[in-house]
Amino acid sequence: MSILIALLGILASIMMIIVYRKQRELKLLLLSYLNTTIGVVISALNDIFTPGAIGHEISRIFYILGSLILFISVFKEYSQTFRKRKDNFLNNNLELSVVVIITPSLIITISLEILIITFCLISAMMSFRIAKKKRKYANAFLGMCLCTVLSALSLTIVESLGFEEMRLFALGMDIIFFTMLFITAIVIFLEQKLITTEADKTIMKDKYSHDLGNILHTISLSYELIKNDDKTNITLPKELDELIQKKIEEASNVVRFIRSL
């Protein structure tokens, strides 16, 4: 089970590295992925080779770093998204909750699980609000991913209180979490490709509509000069004149269609 979770974490981090190569602004999110993956790999190796050793304690350090970096990443995007809003009543309340909840947690921490839950809870709230504002699926998936963390850690806390049967459910939630982590990285990758495609489409649309428009303008101008210049003594046959006008109109429609894409 731990090996499967570790493999999912590695796949998620690899996908995020691929995404980061195109979006350097995702540096903090990548660091969060890497720390979380390092933590789960250490935990898996501990279960396989040295059960009962300090591997789990070391992995928790990476988990807390991952959750903290993720919180900073989401909070940074949240501030950039909502800071300039005039109707920022809810925004101010959420930022106030960050101070009220995080500060005591840093000063008096019952356990690392509770501290991670605190970071993940607020990060999930902010991710869902960003997703609603920007209509970005990646943020929505990240919020759902964080919700699975909350469930897994809550079950772990219940297990530590003596309810051993919760361990299996906690492991199941861990698998769901790292699967969601991997899916979130894929969604970010797909959104990146979509944005790139839209940008390329806009560039090509502007280029072709501009170039074709210039060519069409030159042809139309030449046609009008030939048709209306008495000095040339050129008389176009009626069929040819109608054909040229028809083709100019068709070309104009093509240019308008390209601009409307």
Q: What is the pLDDT of residue 33?
A: 95
Tens digit of each residue's pLDDT (9 = 90 or more) over 246-258: 888 888 888 788 7
Whether the model clears a pTM of 0.85, i.e. scores above it, the answer is no
CB distance 29 to 187 below 8 Å: no
> What average pLDDT does range 134-154 have in this prediction?
88
Look at residue 188 and tell me whether its pLDDT is greater than 80.
yes
Look at residue 11 and tell me whether its pLDDT is greater than 90.
yes
Q: Which phi and psi angles does 84 have, rounded to 5°?
A: -90, 0
Percentage, residues of the chain above pLDDT 90: 25
Kindly report the average pLDDT of the chain as a whole number: 81
Residue scoring higher pLDDT (13 or 121): 13
Tens digit of each residue's pLDDT (9 = 90 or more) over 170-187: 778 888 889 999 999 999
Look at residue 169 and tell me whether its pLDDT is greater than 90.
no
Given pLDDT bands bounded at 50, 70 and 90, which one contains residue 234? low
Taking the C-alpha atoms of residue 9 and residue 11, their distance in angstroms, rounded to an integer, is 5
Look at residue 167 and tell me whether its pLDDT is greater than 60.
yes
CB distance 37 to 45 below 8 Å: no
Q: What is the pLDDT of residue 215?
A: 82
Tens digit of each residue's pLDDT (9 = 90 or more) over 92-114: 555 545 555 554 555 444 566 77
CB distance 69 to 120 below 8 Å: no
Q: What is the pLDDT of residue 102?
A: 52
The CB-based long-range contact list for 63-67 (8 Å cut-off, 24+ gap) reads: 63/35, 63/36, 63/39, 63/112, 63/116, 64/112, 64/115, 64/116, 65/35, 66/31, 66/32, 66/33, 66/34, 66/35, 66/36, 66/39, 67/32, 67/36, 67/115, 67/116, 67/119, 67/120, 67/123, 67/149
Tens digit of each residue's pLDDT (9 = 90 or more) over 23-69: 888 999 999 999 999 999 999 999 888 887 888 889 988 988 888 88
Q: What is the pLDDT of residue 115?
A: 75
Tens digit of each residue's pLDDT (9 = 90 or more) over 149-164: 888 878 877 877 777 7
Q: What is the pLDDT of residue 111?
A: 63
Structure token digits, residue 199: 């940008």
Look at residue 86 and tell me whether its pLDDT is greater than 80.
no
Q: What is the pLDDT of residue 258?
A: 77
Q: What is the pLDDT of residue 107?
A: 46
Q: What is the pLDDT of residue 90?
A: 47
